Amino acid sequence: MAHTHFTSIPLIDVSGLYSEHFAERQRVADELGRAAREVGFLQITGHGIARELRDGLVDQARRFFARPLEEKMRFYIGQSSNHSGYVPEGEEQFVGGSKDLKEAYDVNYDYTEAAQVYPLLGPTQWPDSADFKREVSAYYRAALALGDTLFRGFALALGLAEDTFAGITRQPTSQLRMIHYPLDPDPVADRPGIGAHTDYECFTILLPTAEGLQVLNGDGQWIDVPLVEDAFVINIGDMLEVLSNGHFVATSHRVRKVSEERFAFPLFCACDYPTRIAPIPGLPPRGERVYAPVNCGDHLFAQTAQTFRYLRERLEDGSLQLPDGTAGLSSFGQGGREVTA
Protein backbone atom coordinates (compact mmCIF):
# COMPACT_ATOMS: atom_id res chain seq x y z
CA MET A 1 0.00 0.00 0.00
CA ALA A 2 1.34 3.43 -0.95
CA HIS A 3 0.09 6.94 -1.36
CA THR A 4 -0.82 8.04 -4.87
CA HIS A 5 0.78 10.92 -6.75
CA PHE A 6 -2.12 13.25 -5.99
CA THR A 7 -1.68 16.96 -6.66
CA SER A 8 -4.93 18.25 -5.15
CA ILE A 9 -7.30 17.46 -2.29
CA PRO A 10 -10.73 15.98 -3.18
CA LEU A 11 -13.77 18.16 -2.37
CA ILE A 12 -16.91 16.19 -1.52
CA ASP A 13 -20.47 17.33 -0.76
CA VAL A 14 -21.51 14.99 2.06
CA SER A 15 -25.12 16.16 2.37
CA GLY A 16 -26.18 12.85 0.81
CA LEU A 17 -25.05 11.03 3.97
CA TYR A 18 -28.13 12.50 5.65
CA SER A 19 -30.47 11.15 2.94
CA GLU A 20 -33.22 8.68 3.79
CA HIS A 21 -32.27 6.77 0.65
CA PHE A 22 -29.55 4.17 1.14
CA ALA A 23 -28.33 4.44 -2.46
CA GLU A 24 -27.59 8.13 -1.97
CA ARG A 25 -25.71 7.49 1.28
CA GLN A 26 -23.71 4.75 -0.45
CA ARG A 27 -22.89 7.05 -3.37
CA VAL A 28 -21.33 9.63 -1.05
CA ALA A 29 -19.63 6.88 0.98
CA ASP A 30 -17.97 5.60 -2.19
CA GLU A 31 -16.55 9.08 -2.79
CA LEU A 32 -15.27 9.18 0.79
CA GLY A 33 -13.69 5.77 0.30
CA ARG A 34 -11.83 6.80 -2.85
CA ALA A 35 -10.38 9.85 -1.11
CA ALA A 36 -9.47 7.82 1.99
CA ARG A 37 -7.72 5.14 -0.07
CA GLU A 38 -5.88 7.35 -2.54
CA VAL A 39 -5.11 10.54 -0.61
CA GLY A 40 -6.03 10.19 3.06
CA PHE A 41 -7.21 13.81 2.96
CA LEU A 42 -10.37 15.46 1.67
CA GLN A 43 -12.50 18.55 2.15
CA ILE A 44 -16.24 18.39 2.75
CA THR A 45 -19.20 20.69 2.25
CA GLY A 46 -22.86 19.97 2.99
CA HIS A 47 -21.91 19.06 6.57
CA GLY A 48 -24.78 20.92 8.24
CA ILE A 49 -22.77 22.79 10.90
CA ALA A 50 -24.13 26.32 11.02
CA ARG A 51 -21.86 29.31 10.40
CA GLU A 52 -23.01 30.76 13.74
CA LEU A 53 -21.49 27.81 15.60
CA ARG A 54 -18.22 28.15 13.69
CA ASP A 55 -18.07 31.92 14.18
CA GLY A 56 -18.79 31.53 17.90
CA LEU A 57 -15.90 29.11 18.27
CA VAL A 58 -13.46 31.42 16.47
CA ASP A 59 -14.62 34.43 18.46
CA GLN A 60 -14.09 32.68 21.80
CA ALA A 61 -10.62 31.57 20.72
CA ARG A 62 -9.66 35.12 19.75
CA ARG A 63 -10.92 36.44 23.08
CA PHE A 64 -9.13 33.84 25.18
CA PHE A 65 -5.76 33.96 23.42
CA ALA A 66 -5.76 37.76 23.59
CA ARG A 67 -5.48 37.51 27.41
CA PRO A 68 -2.11 38.06 29.11
CA LEU A 69 -0.05 34.88 29.50
CA GLU A 70 -0.31 34.87 33.30
CA GLU A 71 -4.10 34.92 33.02
CA LYS A 72 -4.16 32.07 30.51
CA MET A 73 -1.83 30.03 32.71
CA ARG A 74 -4.49 30.00 35.44
CA PHE A 75 -6.09 27.27 33.28
CA TYR A 76 -2.85 25.40 32.50
CA ILE A 77 -3.46 21.90 31.17
CA GLY A 78 -1.20 20.40 33.85
CA GLN A 79 -3.84 21.21 36.49
CA SER A 80 -6.57 19.13 34.84
CA SER A 81 -7.60 15.52 35.48
CA ASN A 82 -8.46 14.73 31.86
CA HIS A 83 -5.75 16.58 29.91
CA SER A 84 -7.76 19.70 29.12
CA GLY A 85 -6.94 23.38 29.37
CA TYR A 86 -4.38 25.91 28.19
CA VAL A 87 -1.23 24.73 26.40
CA PRO A 88 1.52 27.38 26.26
CA GLU A 89 4.05 27.58 23.43
CA GLY A 90 6.84 25.06 23.97
CA GLU A 91 4.76 22.66 26.11
CA GLU A 92 4.68 20.01 23.38
CA GLN A 93 7.76 18.30 22.02
CA PHE A 94 7.66 15.71 19.27
CA VAL A 95 9.98 13.16 17.69
CA GLY A 96 13.37 14.73 17.03
CA GLY A 97 12.92 17.31 19.78
CA SER A 98 11.05 19.88 17.67
CA LYS A 99 8.78 22.35 19.41
CA ASP A 100 5.79 23.83 17.62
CA LEU A 101 5.25 27.57 17.32
CA LYS A 102 1.74 27.66 18.72
CA GLU A 103 -0.43 27.86 21.82
CA ALA A 104 -3.69 25.96 22.31
CA TYR A 105 -6.70 25.27 24.48
CA ASP A 106 -7.73 21.60 24.60
CA VAL A 107 -11.32 20.52 25.20
CA ASN A 108 -12.37 16.90 25.78
CA TYR A 109 -15.67 15.01 25.98
CA ASP A 110 -16.44 16.62 29.38
CA TYR A 111 -17.57 13.36 30.95
CA THR A 112 -19.40 14.08 34.22
CA GLU A 113 -21.90 11.21 34.35
CA ALA A 114 -19.89 9.14 36.85
CA ALA A 115 -16.57 9.09 38.69
CA GLN A 116 -13.57 9.48 36.43
CA VAL A 117 -11.87 6.19 35.59
CA TYR A 118 -9.70 7.01 32.57
CA PRO A 119 -7.09 9.79 32.31
CA LEU A 120 -8.53 11.24 29.08
CA LEU A 121 -12.21 10.97 29.98
CA GLY A 122 -13.44 13.25 32.75
CA PRO A 123 -14.64 16.79 33.47
CA THR A 124 -13.11 19.36 31.14
CA GLN A 125 -11.21 22.27 32.69
CA TRP A 126 -13.02 25.37 31.44
CA PRO A 127 -11.81 28.97 31.72
CA ASP A 128 -13.76 31.53 33.77
CA SER A 129 -16.13 32.48 30.95
CA ALA A 130 -19.67 31.18 30.64
CA ASP A 131 -19.72 32.30 27.00
CA PHE A 132 -16.59 30.28 26.25
CA LYS A 133 -18.04 27.13 27.76
CA ARG A 134 -21.43 27.55 26.08
CA GLU A 135 -20.17 28.33 22.57
CA VAL A 136 -17.25 25.93 22.52
CA SER A 137 -19.41 23.11 23.94
CA ALA A 138 -22.07 23.74 21.28
CA TYR A 139 -19.50 23.50 18.51
CA TYR A 140 -17.89 20.40 20.04
CA ARG A 141 -21.20 18.52 20.17
CA ALA A 142 -22.12 19.52 16.61
CA ALA A 143 -18.72 18.48 15.26
CA LEU A 144 -18.89 15.22 17.22
CA ALA A 145 -22.26 14.48 15.60
CA LEU A 146 -20.72 15.16 12.18
CA GLY A 147 -18.01 12.69 13.16
CA ASP A 148 -20.67 10.05 13.84
CA THR A 149 -22.09 10.68 10.37
CA LEU A 150 -18.65 10.32 8.80
CA PHE A 151 -18.05 7.10 10.75
CA ARG A 152 -21.22 5.73 9.10
CA GLY A 153 -19.98 6.84 5.69
CA PHE A 154 -16.56 5.28 6.17
CA ALA A 155 -18.19 2.03 7.28
CA LEU A 156 -20.23 1.91 4.07
CA ALA A 157 -17.11 2.72 2.07
CA LEU A 158 -15.47 -0.40 3.52
CA GLY A 159 -18.46 -2.57 2.68
CA LEU A 160 -19.46 -2.83 6.34
CA ALA A 161 -22.75 -2.28 8.15
CA GLU A 162 -23.51 1.41 8.53
CA ASP A 163 -23.53 1.21 12.33
CA THR A 164 -20.21 -0.68 12.60
CA PHE A 165 -18.54 2.06 14.66
CA ALA A 166 -21.59 3.15 16.69
CA GLY A 167 -20.93 0.77 19.58
CA ILE A 168 -17.37 2.01 20.13
CA THR A 169 -17.96 5.78 19.86
CA ARG A 170 -20.46 6.38 22.68
CA GLN A 171 -18.18 8.34 25.05
CA PRO A 172 -15.13 8.78 22.88
CA THR A 173 -11.69 10.13 23.71
CA SER A 174 -12.24 12.76 21.00
CA GLN A 175 -10.39 16.01 21.63
CA LEU A 176 -11.06 19.47 20.20
CA ARG A 177 -7.94 21.62 20.00
CA MET A 178 -8.26 25.38 19.68
CA ILE A 179 -4.87 26.31 18.21
CA HIS A 180 -3.41 29.79 17.80
CA TYR A 181 -0.41 30.50 15.58
CA PRO A 182 0.72 34.01 16.55
CA LEU A 183 1.58 36.63 13.94
CA ASP A 184 5.16 36.30 12.65
CA PRO A 185 6.00 39.05 10.12
CA ASP A 186 9.27 37.29 9.17
CA PRO A 187 8.62 33.53 9.14
CA VAL A 188 11.56 31.16 8.80
CA ALA A 189 10.87 28.84 5.89
CA ASP A 190 12.40 25.72 7.46
CA ARG A 191 10.73 26.13 10.86
CA PRO A 192 7.13 24.97 10.50
CA GLY A 193 4.21 25.91 12.72
CA ILE A 194 3.64 22.16 13.24
CA GLY A 195 6.14 19.60 11.98
CA ALA A 196 5.32 16.61 9.78
CA HIS A 197 3.18 13.95 11.44
CA THR A 198 0.16 11.71 11.09
CA ASP A 199 -2.72 11.96 13.55
CA TYR A 200 -3.10 9.20 16.14
CA GLU A 201 -6.89 8.93 16.06
CA CYS A 202 -9.42 7.65 13.49
CA PHE A 203 -9.88 10.88 11.56
CA THR A 204 -9.75 14.63 12.10
CA ILE A 205 -12.35 17.30 11.36
CA LEU A 206 -10.44 20.55 10.87
CA LEU A 207 -11.78 24.10 10.73
CA PRO A 208 -8.93 26.48 9.72
CA THR A 209 -9.04 30.27 9.39
CA ALA A 210 -6.10 30.60 6.97
CA GLU A 211 -3.99 28.53 4.63
CA GLY A 212 -0.77 26.89 5.75
CA LEU A 213 -1.63 23.18 5.87
CA GLN A 214 0.41 20.93 3.58
CA VAL A 215 0.02 17.22 2.75
CA LEU A 216 2.73 14.79 1.60
CA ASN A 217 1.93 12.87 -1.60
CA GLY A 218 3.37 9.63 -2.95
CA ASP A 219 6.13 11.50 -4.78
CA GLY A 220 7.35 13.09 -1.56
CA GLN A 221 5.98 16.50 -2.58
CA TRP A 222 4.17 18.86 -0.21
CA ILE A 223 0.73 19.77 -1.56
CA ASP A 224 -1.00 22.90 -0.23
CA VAL A 225 -4.54 22.50 1.13
CA PRO A 226 -6.57 25.50 -0.08
CA LEU A 227 -8.96 27.40 2.13
CA VAL A 228 -12.46 26.59 0.82
CA GLU A 229 -15.49 28.58 1.94
CA ASP A 230 -17.75 26.62 4.33
CA ALA A 231 -15.60 23.48 4.04
CA PHE A 232 -13.97 21.29 6.66
CA VAL A 233 -10.71 19.45 6.06
CA ILE A 234 -10.89 15.73 6.91
CA ASN A 235 -7.88 13.48 7.22
CA ILE A 236 -7.50 9.80 8.01
CA GLY A 237 -5.56 8.97 11.19
CA ASP A 238 -3.50 5.99 12.26
CA MET A 239 -6.34 4.19 14.04
CA LEU A 240 -8.69 4.15 11.05
CA GLU A 241 -5.84 2.94 8.85
CA VAL A 242 -5.44 0.02 11.25
CA LEU A 243 -9.19 -0.65 11.64
CA SER A 244 -9.54 -0.67 7.84
CA ASN A 245 -6.62 -3.13 7.56
CA GLY A 246 -4.71 -0.68 5.41
CA HIS A 247 -7.51 0.20 2.97
CA PHE A 248 -7.52 3.80 4.21
CA VAL A 249 -4.23 5.69 4.53
CA ALA A 250 -3.04 8.10 7.20
CA THR A 251 -1.13 10.84 5.42
CA SER A 252 1.74 12.91 6.79
CA HIS A 253 0.99 16.62 6.98
CA ARG A 254 2.47 19.78 8.45
CA VAL A 255 1.65 23.44 8.96
CA ARG A 256 4.07 25.77 7.22
CA LYS A 257 4.78 29.06 8.99
CA VAL A 258 2.87 31.92 7.39
CA SER A 259 3.21 35.66 7.94
CA GLU A 260 -0.27 36.10 9.39
CA GLU A 261 -2.12 35.18 12.53
CA ARG A 262 -3.82 31.81 12.09
CA PHE A 263 -6.30 29.74 14.09
CA ALA A 264 -7.06 26.07 13.55
CA PHE A 265 -9.67 23.90 15.23
CA PRO A 266 -9.08 20.16 14.77
CA LEU A 267 -11.49 17.69 16.36
CA PHE A 268 -9.63 14.39 16.63
CA CYS A 269 -12.34 11.75 16.33
CA ALA A 270 -11.46 8.63 18.30
CA CYS A 271 -13.17 5.61 19.83
CA ASP A 272 -14.15 4.86 23.42
CA TYR A 273 -11.19 4.47 25.79
CA PRO A 274 -11.20 0.64 26.16
CA THR A 275 -11.67 -0.05 22.42
CA ARG A 276 -9.20 -2.55 20.94
CA ILE A 277 -7.81 -1.04 17.73
CA ALA A 278 -7.10 -3.87 15.31
CA PRO A 279 -8.18 -4.73 11.75
CA ILE A 280 -11.93 -5.29 11.61
CA PRO A 281 -12.63 -9.02 11.11
CA GLY A 282 -13.53 -9.85 7.55
CA LEU A 283 -11.58 -7.02 5.93
CA PRO A 284 -8.81 -8.47 3.75
CA PRO A 285 -5.44 -6.74 4.06
CA ARG A 286 -4.48 -4.12 1.53
CA GLY A 287 -0.79 -4.73 1.07
CA GLU A 288 1.52 -6.92 3.14
CA ARG A 289 1.61 -4.97 6.38
CA VAL A 290 0.41 -6.68 9.56
CA TYR A 291 -0.96 -4.25 12.17
CA ALA A 292 -0.40 -4.97 15.85
CA PRO A 293 -3.46 -4.14 18.02
CA VAL A 294 -3.47 -1.45 20.71
CA ASN A 295 -5.93 -0.22 23.32
CA CYS A 296 -7.35 3.07 22.03
CA GLY A 297 -7.24 5.14 25.22
CA ASP A 298 -4.00 3.68 26.56
CA HIS A 299 -2.27 4.37 23.26
CA LEU A 300 -3.54 7.96 23.04
CA PHE A 301 -2.58 8.64 26.65
CA ALA A 302 0.87 7.11 26.23
CA GLN A 303 1.56 9.22 23.13
CA THR A 304 0.33 12.30 24.97
CA ALA A 305 2.44 11.53 28.03
CA GLN A 306 5.56 11.32 25.87
CA THR A 307 4.78 14.63 24.16
CA PHE A 308 3.63 17.07 26.86
CA ARG A 309 6.18 18.52 29.26
CA TYR A 310 4.04 18.27 32.40
CA LEU A 311 3.41 14.56 31.82
CA ARG A 312 7.02 13.81 30.85
CA GLU A 313 8.11 15.36 34.16
CA ARG A 314 5.77 13.01 36.02
CA LEU A 315 7.19 10.05 34.12
CA GLU A 316 10.68 11.14 35.08
CA ASP A 317 9.93 11.53 38.79
CA GLY A 318 8.00 8.24 38.91
CA SER A 319 4.62 9.72 39.82
CA LEU A 320 3.19 8.53 36.49
CA GLN A 321 3.56 5.16 34.78
CA LEU A 322 2.91 4.47 31.12
CA PRO A 323 0.33 1.74 30.34
CA ASP A 324 1.68 -1.75 29.72
CA GLY A 325 2.81 -2.32 26.16
CA THR A 326 3.22 1.37 25.39
CA ALA A 327 4.57 2.11 21.94
CA GLY A 328 7.15 4.82 21.37
CA LEU A 329 6.26 8.02 19.54
CA SER A 330 5.53 7.55 15.83
CA SER A 331 5.64 3.76 16.09
CA PHE A 332 2.01 2.91 15.26
CA GLY A 333 -0.02 3.20 12.05
CA GLN A 334 1.82 5.20 9.39
CA GLY A 335 4.42 6.30 11.94
CA GLY A 336 5.57 2.74 12.38
CA ARG A 337 6.62 2.52 8.76
CA GLU A 338 7.32 5.99 7.42
CA VAL A 339 9.85 8.67 8.20
CA THR A 340 8.98 12.06 6.75
CA ALA A 341 10.80 15.32 6.51
Alpha-carbon gap, residue 242 to 337, rounded angstroms: 13
The confidence score (pLDDT) of residue 101 equals 76
Domain boundaries along the sequence of the chain: 11-336
Read off the pLDDT of residues 59-106 as tens digits, 9 standing for 90 and up: 999 999 999 999 999 999 999 999 999 999 989 876 555 566 789 999
**Residues near 269 by Cβ (< 8 Å), separated by ≥ 6?**
144, 147, 150, 151, 169, 172, 174, 201, 202, 203, 204, 205
Q: Is the pLDDT confidence value at 312 over 70?
A: yes
Read off the pLDDT of residues 113-152 as tens digits, 9 standing for 90 and up: 999 999 999 999 999 999 999 999 999 999 999 999 999 9
CB 145 within 8 A of CB 17: no
- Its sign, for the CA torsion 92, 98, 103, 107, is negative
Nearest CA among 148, 142, 149, 132 for reference residue 62: 132
Alpha-carbon gap, residue 246 to 261, rounded angstroms: 37
Number of H helices, E strands in the chain: 7, 14
- Its sign, for the CA torsion 303, 74, 108, 232, is negative
Note the pTM of the prediction, 2 decimals: 0.91
Read off the pLDDT of residues 324-338 as tens digits, 9 standing for 90 and up: 766 555 544 445 443
Which backbone phi and psi does 85 adopt, to 5 degrees?
130, -165
Q: pLDDT band for position 252 (50/70/90)?
A: confident
- Which class would CATH give 11-336? mainly beta
To the nearest whole number, what is the mean pLDDT of the chain? 88
The confidence score (pLDDT) of residue 331 equals 47
Read off the pLDDT of residues 150-178 as tens digits, 9 standing for 90 and up: 999 999 999 999 999 999 999 999 999 99
pLDDT (mean) for 259-267: 89
The confidence score (pLDDT) of residue 97 equals 55
The confidence score (pLDDT) of residue 327 equals 58
The confidence score (pLDDT) of residue 83 equals 95
